[in-house]
Copies of this chain bind each other. A is one copy, B any other.
Amino acid sequence: MPAHQEWVENNNQYAATFGEKGELPLAPAKKLAIVTCMDARINVYAELGINEGDSHIIRNAGGCAKDALRSIIISQRLLGTREIAVFHHTDCGMLTFNTPQLRKLVKDSDPSNPALNAVDEIDFLEFNQLEQSVKDDVTYLKENPLVLAETTVTGWVYEVGTGKIRQVV
Protein backbone atom coordinates (compact mmCIF):
# COMPACT_ATOMS: atom_id res chain seq x y z
CA MET A 1 0.00 0.00 0.00
CA PRO A 2 1.44 3.43 -0.91
CA ALA A 3 2.23 5.45 2.20
CA HIS A 4 -0.11 8.23 1.13
CA GLN A 5 -3.21 6.11 1.71
CA GLU A 6 -2.50 6.17 5.42
CA TRP A 7 -2.35 9.90 5.92
CA VAL A 8 -5.78 10.90 4.65
CA GLU A 9 -7.36 9.49 7.80
CA ASN A 10 -4.62 10.98 9.97
CA ASN A 11 -5.30 14.36 8.39
CA ASN A 12 -9.01 14.16 9.20
CA GLN A 13 -8.09 13.99 12.86
CA TYR A 14 -5.66 16.90 12.58
CA ALA A 15 -8.19 19.10 10.78
CA ALA A 16 -10.92 18.24 13.31
CA THR A 17 -8.98 20.00 16.08
CA PHE A 18 -7.34 22.68 13.93
CA GLY A 19 -9.06 25.58 15.67
CA GLU A 20 -7.43 29.00 15.69
CA LYS A 21 -4.39 27.80 13.71
CA GLY A 22 -6.50 28.64 10.66
CA GLU A 23 -6.08 32.33 11.46
CA LEU A 24 -2.27 32.39 11.46
CA PRO A 25 -0.64 34.97 9.15
CA LEU A 26 1.65 34.18 6.22
CA ALA A 27 4.75 35.82 7.75
CA PRO A 28 6.57 33.80 10.47
CA ALA A 29 5.90 35.19 13.95
CA LYS A 30 9.48 34.67 15.14
CA LYS A 31 11.00 36.22 11.97
CA LEU A 32 13.00 33.02 11.74
CA ALA A 33 14.06 30.62 8.99
CA ILE A 34 15.44 27.20 9.95
CA VAL A 35 17.54 25.26 7.43
CA THR A 36 17.92 21.56 8.17
CA CYS A 37 18.25 18.15 6.53
CA MET A 38 15.44 16.14 4.92
CA ASP A 39 16.48 13.21 7.16
CA ALA A 40 13.48 11.14 8.27
CA ARG A 41 14.56 11.17 11.92
CA ILE A 42 14.34 14.94 12.25
CA ASN A 43 11.08 16.31 13.67
CA VAL A 44 11.85 20.04 13.78
CA TYR A 45 8.68 21.11 15.58
CA ALA A 46 9.10 18.60 18.41
CA GLU A 47 12.87 18.93 18.67
CA LEU A 48 12.86 22.72 19.10
CA GLY A 49 9.41 23.33 20.54
CA ILE A 50 8.43 25.27 17.40
CA ASN A 51 4.72 25.85 16.78
CA GLU A 52 2.72 26.41 13.63
CA GLY A 53 3.25 29.99 12.51
CA ASP A 54 6.64 30.48 14.15
CA SER A 55 9.29 29.83 11.50
CA HIS A 56 10.01 28.98 7.92
CA ILE A 57 11.40 25.45 7.71
CA ILE A 58 13.68 24.79 4.75
CA ARG A 59 14.79 21.18 4.36
CA ASN A 60 17.02 19.52 1.79
CA ALA A 61 19.61 16.77 1.61
CA GLY A 62 22.16 17.85 4.24
CA GLY A 63 20.51 21.09 5.27
CA CYS A 64 22.76 22.87 2.76
CA ALA A 65 22.61 26.66 2.88
CA LYS A 66 23.60 27.06 -0.76
CA ASP A 67 20.64 24.94 -1.86
CA ALA A 68 18.38 27.06 0.37
CA LEU A 69 19.37 30.46 -1.05
CA ARG A 70 16.33 30.91 -3.31
CA SER A 71 14.03 30.18 -0.37
CA ILE A 72 15.99 32.40 2.03
CA ILE A 73 15.77 35.40 -0.29
CA ILE A 74 11.99 34.95 -0.52
CA SER A 75 11.79 34.44 3.25
CA GLN A 76 13.70 37.64 4.01
CA ARG A 77 12.62 40.01 1.26
CA LEU A 78 8.93 39.11 1.02
CA LEU A 79 8.11 37.63 4.43
CA GLY A 80 10.29 39.57 6.85
CA THR A 81 12.52 36.94 8.49
CA ARG A 82 15.76 38.26 9.98
CA GLU A 83 17.28 35.20 11.69
CA ILE A 84 18.59 31.99 10.12
CA ALA A 85 19.55 28.83 12.02
CA VAL A 86 21.40 26.12 10.11
CA PHE A 87 21.21 22.58 11.50
CA HIS A 88 23.28 19.65 10.22
CA HIS A 89 23.13 16.30 12.03
CA THR A 90 25.11 13.25 13.08
CA ASP A 91 24.90 10.10 10.90
CA CYS A 92 24.00 12.22 7.87
CA GLY A 93 23.90 10.57 4.47
CA MET A 94 25.87 13.51 3.08
CA LEU A 95 28.94 12.19 4.92
CA THR A 96 28.83 8.86 3.05
CA PHE A 97 29.44 9.66 -0.63
CA ASN A 98 30.79 12.25 -3.04
CA THR A 99 29.40 13.83 -6.19
CA PRO A 100 31.51 11.86 -8.72
CA GLN A 101 30.43 8.57 -7.08
CA LEU A 102 26.75 9.45 -7.19
CA ARG A 103 26.93 10.70 -10.77
CA LYS A 104 28.55 7.38 -11.75
CA LEU A 105 25.94 5.38 -9.84
CA VAL A 106 23.12 7.15 -11.68
CA LYS A 107 24.69 6.78 -15.13
CA ASP A 108 25.72 3.16 -14.53
CA SER A 109 22.11 2.30 -13.64
CA ASP A 110 21.26 2.49 -17.35
CA PRO A 111 24.32 3.06 -19.56
CA SER A 112 22.14 2.99 -22.68
CA ASN A 113 20.22 6.12 -21.60
CA PRO A 114 22.03 9.35 -22.54
CA ALA A 115 19.41 11.40 -20.67
CA LEU A 116 21.08 10.31 -17.44
CA ASN A 117 24.09 12.45 -18.35
CA ALA A 118 22.04 15.36 -17.00
CA VAL A 119 23.26 14.26 -13.57
CA ASP A 120 26.67 15.69 -14.46
CA GLU A 121 25.13 19.16 -14.09
CA ILE A 122 24.25 18.56 -10.44
CA ASP A 123 26.54 19.36 -7.52
CA PHE A 124 25.28 17.14 -4.70
CA LEU A 125 26.88 19.37 -2.01
CA GLU A 126 28.17 16.51 0.14
CA PHE A 127 30.50 17.23 3.06
CA ASN A 128 33.24 15.36 4.90
CA GLN A 129 33.27 16.89 8.36
CA LEU A 130 30.07 17.62 10.22
CA GLU A 131 30.97 20.60 12.41
CA GLN A 132 33.09 22.20 9.70
CA SER A 133 30.16 21.91 7.27
CA VAL A 134 28.01 23.89 9.70
CA LYS A 135 30.68 26.58 10.03
CA ASP A 136 31.08 26.72 6.26
CA ASP A 137 27.34 27.17 5.73
CA VAL A 138 27.14 29.96 8.32
CA THR A 139 30.07 31.70 6.62
CA TYR A 140 28.41 31.25 3.23
CA LEU A 141 25.26 32.98 4.48
CA LYS A 142 27.08 35.77 6.31
CA GLU A 143 29.19 36.56 3.26
CA ASN A 144 26.48 36.22 0.62
CA PRO A 145 25.42 39.68 -0.62
CA LEU A 146 21.90 38.40 -1.30
CA VAL A 147 21.38 37.63 2.41
CA LEU A 148 20.52 40.75 4.40
CA ALA A 149 23.53 42.07 6.33
CA GLU A 150 21.54 42.48 9.56
CA THR A 151 20.62 38.77 9.69
CA THR A 152 21.43 36.78 12.85
CA VAL A 153 22.94 33.50 11.60
CA THR A 154 23.68 30.59 13.92
CA GLY A 155 24.87 27.03 13.24
CA TRP A 156 23.94 23.86 15.11
CA VAL A 157 24.38 20.10 15.22
CA TYR A 158 21.45 17.78 15.94
CA GLU A 159 22.35 14.37 17.37
CA VAL A 160 20.01 11.76 15.90
CA GLY A 161 21.04 9.22 18.55
CA THR A 162 20.07 11.37 21.54
CA GLY A 163 17.68 14.03 20.24
CA LYS A 164 20.01 16.74 21.56
CA ILE A 165 21.12 19.92 19.81
CA ARG A 166 24.35 21.83 20.32
CA GLN A 167 25.39 25.22 18.97
CA VAL A 168 28.52 25.23 16.81
CA VAL A 169 28.65 28.87 15.80
Q: Which residues of A are in contact with B by a Cβ distance under 8 Å?
A: 2-4, 6-11, 13-15, 18, 21-22, 24, 26-33, 38-43, 45-50, 52-61, 67-71, 73-75, 77-79, 83, 85, 91, 93-94, 96-97, 102, 105-106, 109, 113, 115-116, 118-119, 122-125, 145-146, 152, 154, 156, 160-165, 167
Contact = CB atoms under 8 A, between A and B. Distances in A.
Contacts of A118: 145-146
Count this chain's copies in the assembly.
2
Give the 10 A-B CB pairs with smallest separation, nearest first: A10-B49, A18-B163, A115-B145, A7-B48, A28-B40, A61-B71, A15-B163, A3-B30, A59-B59, A38-B56
27 contacts: A2-B83, A3-B31, A4-B167, A7-B48, A7-B165, A10-B49, A11-B48, A13-B49, A14-B46, A14-B163, A22-B162, A24-B160, A26-B40, A40-B54, A40-B55, A41-B52, A41-B53, A43-B45, A58-B61, A59-B59, A60-B68, A70-B125, A74-B124, A77-B105, A77-B109, A78-B93, A78-B96
